[in-house]
Amino acid sequence: MELTRKALIGWTIIGICLVVISSIAFSSDLNRKRNRDGLLYWHGPSNQKVIALTFDDGPNEPYTSQILDILKKYDVKATFFMVGKNVEKYPEVARKVAAEGNVIGNHSWDHPNLIFKTNGQTRREILKTGNLIWQVTGVNPELFRPPYGGDDLMTLTQIHKLGYVTVKWSMSFEDWKQPGVDKILTRLPMVQNGSIILLHDGNRLFHGADRSQTVAALPEIILQLKKEGYSFVTVPQLLDEQAGNEANHFSISNKRLVMYPLSQQD
């Protein structure tokens, strides 16, 4: 009898431990995910009121230009993770994004989930896009965001080998669901110190995909967060803060001058 009770208590304790461990491991709080220095970042510093807006899947008109106008009006710089095929379609918009002081990151050529691609295919997705962004804007992108967040170890390794830092996100307004402006804004309280915030100016390869809700919500997002005392910075600036303001920790563009001729990509 005594033994059975002990066993019961023992198994209960083990069960509780497993629940606690799994809830930590699969925590939906992306702010608690561990950055891997120089390799993969989910968020910036948790002790400073700095945040970074990021826009995925553009350029996509007229929405990217509308977002640029809003950013300009409120003196906010953001980071745009662009799809190569969309840069090909809207090169002048990509140029404008860079010219207005925003940062451009690489978001693959045609938005596949890279975990289903070979290493060679992954490299081509990254290189072709990086080259085009460089050709169009004169800026060599240093940040990569994998489509759908697909980042198994093989993909991360390829991204890293090509000199990119992988940037995910810690807070999403889930604007891609087009749930309505009010619903998008209900997520504002989820923003925290150091948040890398996910928004969309495009939708994968769909040219002209409707992003009017994102555009409509953006001024309120900026105004509310400014009121709460947050400063808006680009992702490289946020990661500089994360690294303790070491001078230009992330300004690696100028160091990574190795270009990959398009002819060698296929």
Residue number of the CB closest to Zn ion reads: 56
Contact range with Zn ion by CB under 5 A, out of 1-9, 38-46, 147-155, 224-232: 147-155
In angstroms, give the least distance from the CB of 197 to Zn ion.
14
Q: Which is closer to Zn ion, CB of 57 or CB of 175? A: 57
Residue 214's contacts (CB-CB under 8 Å, 6 or more residues apart) are: 63, 67, 173, 175, 184, 199, 200, 201
Compose the 71-110 pattern: x for residues touching Zn ion by CB under 5 A, - for all others.
Answer: ----------------------------------------
In angstroms, give the least distance from the CB of 107 to Zn ion.
6
Residue 56 interacts with Zn ion (CB under 5 A): yes or no: yes
In angstroms, give the least distance from the CB of 111 to Zn ion.
6
**42, 57, 87, 105: which one binds Zn ion (CB under 5 A):** 57
In angstroms, give the least distance from the CB of 7 to Zn ion.
50
Catalytic residue check, 152: no
Catalytic residue check, 56: yes
Catalytic, out of 43, 200, 201, 240 = 200
Q: Which is closer to Zn ion, CB of 43 or CB of 145? A: 145
Task: Provide the binding-site residues for Zn ion, judged by CB under 5 A.
Answer: 56-57, 147
- Which residues are the active-site residues? 56, 200
